[in-house]
Amino acid sequence: MSSPPSRASASSPSSGASSFWIVTANSRYTAISVACCYALTTGMLTITLRDTHRWGDRGGLGMRNPPRQPSLSAGGRPGATIRAVPDPVGGRIELRQLRYFVTLAEELHFGRAAAREHIVPSALSTQVQRLERAVGVQLVDRTTRHVALTAAGARFLIEARQILEHVDRAAVLAQGRALAAPTLRVGVLDEGYDAVQPVLRAVQARYPDLEIHQVLAGVPEQRRLLADGRLDVGIGRLPGAAPEIAAEMFRLDALGVLVPTGHAYARLARVPVAALRDETLLLADEEQAPEFNAFVAEVCRSAGFFPTLFPGSVQTLRAAVDLVAQGRCVLCTPASTAGASSDPDLTWRPLGPSVPRYPWSILWRAQNPSRYALDLVRTARELSAELGWRDAAHDRAS
């Protein structure tokens, strides 16, 4: 006797999250459609898998109502294809909203982002707000002084970019055109870090048709993405041996401290490391840059103390800058990030005396690297020599 076809229907959500219940013809389950994958990973989608042999068939055995609060059973097994029908009362995400959000994340300014998209700022803001309602979380922090991504927004940005890339690729394939444009996926810690941007600009100038995709990820995550082939190049510091990842140091960055402009340190040409003993110091998020935190801690220990740490963490440089502007802490940061903190109410000063500089490295897969990854390494090497990034006398990023 043949099994009845799989069937899906929507249930009423118990909260703001989208929800589904899914009925299958047997007890073997396969992956849910790609459209659901992101929501599953972020917890914004709830799915219950039910077998028609247990729950019955509407045509003969009598279908019972699905639970009011469905959940996804762990360890789904491969088998029958599953289709999901979205909750009709839930939000709908449009591709243009994703594009507007990505552009805003790149510009961090509604006016500039709207100009790139050839719309007015109010229209872009409206679409981003609709996207946030559809997703169910705040993606963007808006104040009168700046625009910044929330932690959820930073995570969503990575997926949004990939969705848009897949849509573009699908359109090209559907039109029967060749996928000629090469790509280079580069991991970056934060949009505020300028250590690698001159290198990317030089590579782009050399290869105008090259599509460079910047992926926001901490150094530990970059290593994982490099190892499994989802990233071509990473930027950070790689202490210790990692046989699957090659690394080359290309820049030594002066270490400094960011303080409010009215702070006593702002009047100094160079701040003694020992002076940080009396300050509350904000470190980077441990998931983002544990190696940088260890570097700063070692600088302080060498001066005979361990710093008083700010009781909290942030995931973006912009959020860290806000805390400093509020006078709640000071921030140790490399010189190459000073441009991101160009607020007139803030001042960056180098630490001294004889403070080691932070080493930035290019990371890439040791096995089968792409030609463009290797060219980026060569470009970083050339720029480093040209601009003196590794010279002992080079204190400030160019």
pLDDT per residue as tens digits for the range 34-87: 334 333 333 343 333 333 333 333 333 333 444 443 433 334 433 333 333 444
pLDDT at 158: 80
Strands 280-282 and 330-334: parallel
Confidence band, pLDDT 50/70/90 cuts, at residue 317 = confident
Q: How much of the chain, in percent, has pLDDT values that exceed 90?
A: 45
CA separation, residue 261 to residues 110, 193, 264, 325 (Å) = 27, 21, 8, 9
Domain 91-180 falls in which CATH fold?
Arc Repressor Mutant, subunit A (1.10.10)
- Give the tokens for residue 138: 């705040």
What SS3 state is found at 362?
A: strand
pLDDT at 179: 61
Confidence band, pLDDT 50/70/90 cuts, at residue 127 = very high
Cα–Cα distance for residue pair 102/93, rounded to 1 Å: 14
The mean pLDDT value of the chain amounts to 77
More confident residue, 210 or 236: 210
- Give the tokens for residue 382: 């050339």
pLDDT at 266: 94
Cα–Cα distance for residue pair 271/267, rounded to 1 Å: 9
Cα–Cα distance for residue pair 157/134, rounded to 1 Å: 15
Strand partners, 31: none
Distance of CA 299 to the CA centre of its chain: 28
pLDDT at 178: 64
Phi and psi at 291, nearest 5°, equal -70, -30
Q: Give residue for tokens 């690297």.
A: 369
In degrees, to the nearest 5, what angle opens at C-alpha 96 toward C-alphas 32 and 167?
Answer: 50
Sign of the C-alpha dihedral computed for residues 138, 144, 145 and 146 taken in this order:
positive
Q: What is the mean pLDDT of residues 167-181?
A: 76
Cα–Cα distance for residue pair 63/59, rounded to 1 Å: 8
Confidence band, pLDDT 50/70/90 cuts, at residue 392 = low
Cα–Cα distance for residue pair 269/256, rounded to 1 Å: 11
Domain boundaries, the chain: 1-90, 91-180, 182-254+359-398, 255-356
Q: What is the mean pLDDT of residues 114-143?
A: 93
Helices vs. strands in the chain: H and E counts, helices first: 11, 16
- Where is 3: in which H helix or E strand? none
Cα-Cα-Cα-Cα dihedral of 122, 126, 127, 128, to 10°?
Answer: 100
More confident residue, 195 or 201: 201
- Give the tokens for residue 8: 């899906």
Cα–Cα distance for residue pair 251/394, rounded to 1 Å: 10
DSSP 8-class letter at 340 = G
pLDDT at 57: 37
Cα–Cα distance for residue pair 1/367, rounded to 1 Å: 52
Helix 95-107 and helix 121-135, axial crossing angle in degrees, nearest 10: 110
pTM above 0.75, yes or no: no
Asked if the domains 182-254+359-398 and 255-356 are classified in one and the same CATH topology, the answer is: yes
Which distant-in-sequence residues (6+ apart) come within 8 Å of 287 by Cβ? 218, 220, 221, 315
Q: How much of the chain, in percent, has pLDDT values that exceed 70?
A: 72
Confidence band, pLDDT 50/70/90 cuts, at residue 312 = confident
Cα–Cα distance for residue pair 398/391, rounded to 1 Å: 12
Q: Is the pLDDT of residue 192 over 80?
A: no
State the CATH class of domain 182-254+359-398. alpha beta
Residues 327-381 have pLDDT tens digits of: 999 999 998 886 656 678 899 999 998 899 999 999 998 887 888 999 999 999 9
State the CATH class of domain 255-356. alpha beta
Nearest alpha-carbon partner for 190 in 106, 249, 124 = 106
pLDDT at 396: 43
Q: Which of 173-177, 292-296, 308-312 has the lowest mean pLDDT?
A: 173-177
Nearest alpha-carbon partner for 337 in 248, 263, 235 = 235
Sign of the C-alpha dihedral computed for residues 84, 89, 91 and 93 taken in this order:
positive
Cα–Cα distance for residue pair 316/218, rounded to 1 Å: 10
Phi and psi at 135, nearest 5°, equal -75, -35
